[in-house]
Structure 1
Amino acid sequence: MSPVLQGCLTLLAILVLIGLRVPVGLVLGLCAFIGTAALLPLPAAISVMGRVPYEFTASWEFSAVPLFLLMGNIAWRSGLTDGLFRIFELGLARLPGGLAVATNLAAAGFGAASGSSLATTVSIGRIAIPQMLKSGYQPALAAGVCACSGTLAALIPPSIPLIVYGILAEQSVARLFFAGIVPGILTAIAYTVMIVLRCRFTPGLAPAARPVAQPGEVGDLLRRTWPLPALAVLVLGGIYGGWFSPAEAGGVGAMLAMLFAGLQGRLRAAMLWQACVDAARTTAVILFIAIGAFMLTRYLTLTGLPAAVASTVAALDLSPVLMLAAMAVVFLVLGMFLDPFGVMLISISVLLPLFERLGYDLIWVGIIVVKYIEIGLMTPPVGLNVFAVRSIAPDISLPVIFKGVLWFLLAEAVVMILLLGFPGLTLWLPGLLI
């Protein structure tokens, strides 16, 4: 059997095992090791694969992952994000679907602090869904906006998927962060426009709500939430100004989150301990999957499969439009069934040499890949964010949530057309860093 054919069979086995719900990290690492042992003598395979976990985890850039997770957990658990939804609720009350728009924008703000899509979905959903249902909003819209707006955290910096992509693709994490800003804002705007237009032409979706601020409430809300925008500005401004690297920015962000929580009298030992535990647990999950993907990348390089794919596709001389369409199909189909991190890491292992051979800007590719991951978080039959909403709103059925999500997928289609057709939307801001 040729090494290339062996690599293809290994990928097929990986997809089958993941489809059977075997843990992604275990599948990637085990299949990569078995495949390497089939190509090389066992001592050589152990030597090659034994070095991979250290080589990956010793990456300085990866230290940003637990630090940004810690920053987001502290901001959430200390209550720095509690007033976000209420501020947008009061400010957008006159818009059609104002509460849904407030949920969307509050999720974008929360995502800028947490970097975690699931954390954003659950945290905002617990506040927003009961409020929207109480105001007479249709359950599909109330649940759909929470499931979809939570995905903004995967793109708006600090984004954990962008950090992992930057390490695997050997691209600047700082440039990836800034490349995600415009697409993230564009997605939030697309969601807002879609919500407003739907609610204007179908008033029954979202009855008009007129929340009234209590005396002194606005001032109290501003005092409680000002640390959140300050945190985002200081972290991103420090990276842009060259004061610290993305990894150092994670440490600075975590320290600032503790400082702001302390200034507001919300820093407690129990809270800090739980934030550290949550950050460590999430980091371990990401690390386990990423090490397996790194082992798979090393194995596939030995088989020559990525180079063979790149050569074959280059020989077909497909137009850029067809290439982008094929990439979209691959990511969307995989995203319907597999874990989003698994989709990204498996696909990068195979497709990165192809992107390089075709001359695509790998910063732009990273944003497109994360966008497809976002979409995968809300597409059936898996749709992790949809199941997260279901866990906090058990009275709303999955078909109803997916029905609400479909409208947001239409907005995503418009955003993707713009990002694919005009790469400058993604690249002009990181270009300022050069």
Structure 2
Amino acid sequence: GAVIIGVLTGRLDREKILASLLQATRTAAAVFTVLIGALIFGYFLTVTQTPQKVTEFLTGLGLGSYGVLALIMVMYLVLGCLMDAMAMIILTVPIIFPVITHLGFDPIWFGVIIVMTVELGLIHPPVGMNVFVIKSVVKDVSFSTIFKGVIPFVATDLVRLVILIAFPLLATWLPTRMMAH
């Protein structure tokens, strides 16, 4: 639809269409590379029984279910400084998910919490990856100014996470309500 509109309005010519198709192919190749790597990684995890061992280790620490959850969230915050969100989730959820279900947490709630934590990890100081993306786009603004601008978002995200952990029903009431109808 977008191609037809672009051609009819004269904004897309043959050269621009080919360039966009090339970019789409590159993006798809990058996504599939990550997914293929995740499948191989998943097979490795199955063979080595890593999720079971991680579950035993984390539940054996004596931190309690919320202590283990806090540890997992800190791990995601640190990984946010080093990895892309999709790669982070694809590579870690097969290891962490069995721990969460063993501790009795709702899987949908956990999904909401992890997505929020991953996104928070991508913007928090000192090395939030998205801050570097902003800096590459807006070259005349300093890193300190960008980080000062990010702090209110980090604070509100932390408050939102605390609320969702304290009241898990807030993250799951809509899916539960939709399933009931």
TM-score, normalization by structure 1: 0.37
> 1:148 maps to which residue?
none
C-alpha contact (below 8 Å) 1:338/1:382 kept by paired residues = no
2:82 aligns with 337
Shift of 1:321: 2.4
Q: 1:346 aligns with which of 72, 85, 91?
A: 91
One-letter amino acid of the structure 2 residue matched with residue 280 of structure 1: T
State which of 98, 118, 128 in structure 2 corresponds to 1:373: 118
CA distance in 1, matches of 2:33, 2:104: 31
The 2-side partners of 1:380 and 1:285 are apart by: 27
Q: 1:411: which partner in 2?
A: 156
8 A contact 2:7–2:13 mirrored in 1: no
Q: Structure 1: where are the runs of 5+ without partners?
A: 1-254
Q: CA deviation at 1:403?
A: 2.0
Distance 1:282 1:324 in 2: 33
| Cα distance, 1:279–1:423 mapped onto 2, change above 3 Å | farther
Q: 1:264: how far off?
A: 8.2
The answer to whether the Cα contact below 8 Å between 1:306 and 1:353 also exists between their aligned partners in 2 is yes
Deviations 1:66-109 (A, max 9, x none): xxxxxxxxxxxxxxxxxxxxxxxxxxxxxxxxxxxxxxxxxxxx
Provide the rounded CA distance (Å) in 2 between the counterparts of 1:421 and 1:381. 27
The residue that corresponds to 1:300 in the other structure is 45
Aligned to 2:103: 358
Letter in 2 for 1:300: L
Contact kept, 8 Å, 2:131 with 2:147, in 1: the verdict is yes
Please say if 1:386 is aligned against 2:131.
Answer: yes
The higher relative CO (CA closer than 8 Å, separation ≥ 6) is in 1
Aligned partners of 1:267, 1:383: CA distance in 2, in Å?
36
Residues 362 and 394 (structure 1 numbering): CA distance in 2 closer, same or farther, change over 3 Å?
same
CA contact (8 A) 2:77 2:122 kept: no
Q: Which has the larger radius of gyration?
A: 1
Gaps in structure 2 of 5+ consecutive residues: none
- The one-letter code matched in structure 1 to 2:38 is A
Q: Relative to structure 1, is the Cα distance of residues 280 and 381 closer, same or farther in structure 2, using a 3 angstrom cutoff?
A: farther
Offset of residue 316 of structure 1: 4.6
Q: Quick check: 1:293–1:349 contact (8 Å CA) kept in 2?
A: no
The answer to whether the aligner puts 1:290 opposite 2:32 as a matched pair is: no
Query: How far apart in 1 are the matches of 2:8 and 2:148?
Result: 41
Match of 2:67 in 1: 322
Change (3 A) 1:322 1:384: same
Q: Distance in 1 between matches of 2:62 and 2:112?
A: 24
Q: 1:384 corresponds to which letter in structure 2? A: M
Q: Name which of 256, 277, 280 aligns with 2:22.
A: 277
- C-alpha distance in 2 between matches for 1:409 and 1:415: 10
- The reply on whether 1:430 has 2:156 as its aligned counterpart is no
Q: Deviations over 1:111-148 (max 9, x none)?
A: xxxxxxxxxxxxxxxxxxxxxxxxxxxxxxxxxxxxxx
Identity, % of aligned positions: 34
Helix, strand or coil at the partner of 1:336: coil
Deviations 1:35-58 (A, max 9, x none): xxxxxxxxxxxxxxxxxxxxxxxx
Q: Distance in 1 between matches of 2:177 and 2:97?
A: 25
The equivalences for 1:229-244 within 5 A come to none
Q: CA deviation at 1:396?
A: 0.8
Within 1, Cα distance between the matches of 2:116 and 2:20?
A: 28
Please give the alpha-carbon distance, in whole angstroms, between the structure 1 residues aligned to 2:7 and 2:174.
33
Q: 1:433 to 1:282 in 2, by over 3 A?
A: farther
Aligned residue number for residue 218 of structure 1: none
Change beyond 3 A, Cα 1:277–1:370: farther
Out of 408, 420, 428, the residue aligned to residue 165 of structure 2 is 420
The answer to whether the 8 A contact 1:258-1:267 is kept is no
Q: Distance in 2 between matches of 1:321 and 1:414?
A: 16
CA contact (8 A) 2:82 2:129 kept: no
Q: Output the CA distance in 2 between the equivalents of 1:372 and 1:342.
A: 14
TM-score (norm 2): 0.82
